[in-house]
Amino acid sequence: MRIAFFGRILLLLALAGTGAFAQTNPPAQDPNNTNNKVQLEQASELIGEVRNGKEVRKIIGPARFRQNATLLYCDSAYLHQATDFIEAFGNVKIVEGDSVTVTGNRGTYDGRSRLSRMYGNVVLNDGQKTLTTEQLDYNMQDNVAFYPDSGTIVDGENTLTSRQGYYNTNTKIFTFKENVKMVNPKYELTSENLTYNSITKVAYFNTPTRIVGEDGTLVANNGEYNTATGVSNFTSRSTVEYSKYTLTGDILNYDKANQVGYAEGNVVMVAKEDSTIIEGDIGRYFGQQGISRVYGNAVAKNVVGGDTLYLTADTLLSVEDKVQGTRRMFAYNRVKIFKRDLQGKCDSLIYNYSDSTIFFYRDPVLWNERSQLTGDTINIQLANNKMDKMFLRTNAFVISLDSLEHYNQVKGRQMVAFFNPKSQMDRVNVNGNGENITFVLNDQNTELRGVNKVECSNMILKFIEGKINRVAFLNKPDALFIPPHEIEEPSTRLKGFKWRVEEKPAKADVDVRAAAKPKVVEQKAVEKPAKPAVPAKGKKKTVVAKRGAS
């Protein structure tokens, strides 16, 4: 059968006047090939065979085939003329125009669908990018190459690997699936699905993706990353992590080269060195300047002495001095703080992390247990993450409730309050223009004995369990004792007295983001101390307190 078929071919060639079949290089074919058929352009030997009842040509090479602008080279092949199908073996190479070359150990080519399938050490090269794999399906009609089982792409400095992948040789876009990894000298990207535009150098993803660089890590579920500029735009919950900070938001944009980040929606910024957490609606980070800003229901949380200090304001600004190695937090407008043993409010605040000092400005008022403290400015000095000292500067005023809900008061030009290890007020030093009103109780603290009013430039007040226990006068005092039956309310108030407990923030007033979540919050009742009883009018008795006595 094979001999007869081969004889017919020779006869047809002779009748056509093509000369001897032993010709190694068949005549060149028309590159335009208007009938779009696969043409054999070169072969060393051609043998006719019948396989599965169909006539095929066995070509011994080196062989060259052409279909329009597509060339196929191989050591040997089977050509199925009826179906325009080639089975190629040994050093197989497909050249598509002047742009794409595919090589492999063996392969097939379907001239009707223009689909090639290459096996073994497959390499696709389009001039600037190289794809290597063990199997590659290349649809030259759609310009799409597909590898079903592991591939590697080298594009300049970027090396990409994945379990499966597609490459459009026309648009220069790669689509990777499963175990995707992009390695660059400056970063490493891992994902499950990734689309990469090799022209714009932008990678797109919609599955959990991690980008690890020299200076930080990006974690996102949806977005894009420019591998050339380092600019990323993430449209789902994402995090950028640096050595000292992390920034998280529902929308996150980050410029790696300039270390500039923008986050929007449930923003969380963490300062790792001091475990400070800042939350808000919008956050901005300027890494080179060491500045981060959070605003819109902004809340800061910091662990102080085993307790959490909450701070809220319209805007929270963190500034790092990289030369001095210090950091400060600025809070602007409608500032409130809450800690188990300290609450307060003011218009602006500065927290200096280097010396653990908090500065309160513009009408500050603080509460420590049963005491209220005010002044034009207030500074708190922390030691071992606990309150150590409080400085009240200009118009200093302290009001402290006793066990019978009386308002013990002290005011002066300046004051320094000292706290014990339990963060309870232990002592208050009054420096300049000191005035004091103390409600004197019996030994059981159950009965009012009278009111002691004293004016003394400098004095020291001692506290026990947050209540005034005794007062020491450092200069000659001018004192007046008022017995119970002679007490009138005006005489029990120092000038400037204002009990502002209704302004005292609860935790829900400060941790506003947690309060906004739909959950049950246990609220503590606001203390409303009763007014002291006012006895019937009578004759006043004056007692001058001795210097240094209480």
pLDDT bracket for residue 11 (50, 70, 90): very low
**Which structure tokens are listed for 52?**
């599965």
Tokens of 22: 């032993």
Query: Do residues 124 and 108 make contact, with C-beta atoms less than 8 angstroms apart?
Result: no
Average pLDDT over residues 360-366: 96
Note the pLDDT of residue 20: 32
pLDDT of residue 395: 94
- Mean pLDDT within 105-125: 96
- Across the chain, what does the average pLDDT equal? 85
Answer for the pair 368, 380: CB distance below 8 angstroms, yes or no. no
Q: Which residues, other chains included, contact 89 with Cβ-Cβ below 8 Å and sequence gap of 6+?
A: 74, 75, 76, 77, 105, 106
Compute the average pLDDT of residues 198-214. 92
**pLDDT tens-place string over residues 242-264:** 887 888 999 999 998 888 999 99
Dist CA 224 CA 215 (whole Å): 19
- Residue of 53, 46, 62, 61 whose CA lies nearest to 13: 46
Q: What is the DSSP string of 153-186?
A: EEETTEEEEESEEEEETTTTEEEEEEEEEEEETT
For position 421, what pLDDT does the model report?
A: 86
Return the SS3 of 364.
Answer: coil
Among 20-34, 195-209, 229-243, 387-401, the least confident range: 20-34
What is the average per-residue pLDDT within 235-245? 88
C-alpha closest to that of 334 among 345, 323, 326: 345
Q: Three-class SS of residue 502?
A: helix
Give residue-wise pLDDT tens across range 253-296: 999 888 899 999 999 998 887 778 999 999 999 988 889 999 99
Q: Where are the domains of the chain?
A: 257-355, 364-550
Burial of 168 (0-12, 13-18, 19+ CB in 10 A): middle
Whether 134 shows a pLDDT value over 90: the answer reads yes
Query: pLDDT tens digits for 299-333?
Result: 999 876 678 889 999 999 999 887 777 889 999 99
CATH of 257-355, one of 3.40.50.720, 3.30.1330.30, 2.60.450.10, 3.30.1370.160: 2.60.450.10
Task: Specify the pLDDT at position 491.
Answer: 86
Evaluate if residue 222 carries a pLDDT over 60.
yes
418-455: pLDDT as tens digits: 998 888 889 999 999 999 999 998 888 889 999 999 99
Return the DSSP state at 501: G
> Is residue 517 left, alpha or beta, with left meaning phi > 0 and alpha meaning psi from -120 to 50?
beta
Burial class (CB in 10 A: 0-12, 13-18, 19+), 340: middle
Percentage with pLDDT > 90 across the chain: 59
Relative to beta strand 407-419, strand 386-401 is antiparallel
Q: For the whole model, what pTM was predicted? A: 0.73
Residue 313 is predicted with a pLDDT of: 96
Alpha carbon distance 347, 212 (integer Å): 41
Q: With bands split at pLDDT 50, 70 and 90, how would you rate the model's confidence at 382?
A: confident
DSSP three-state, residue 206 = coil
Spatial CA neighbour of 314 closest among 302, 300, 327, 303? 300
Q: Is the pLDDT reported for residue 547 higher than 60?
A: no
Contact 398, 373 (CB under 8 A): yes
35 pLDDT tier (thresholds 50, 70, 90): low
Task: Please tell me the distance from the alpha carbon of residue 33 to that of residue 84, in angstroms, as a whole number.
Answer: 13
Residue with the bigger pLDDT between 107 and 354: it is: 107
Q: Which amino acid is at 392?
A: L
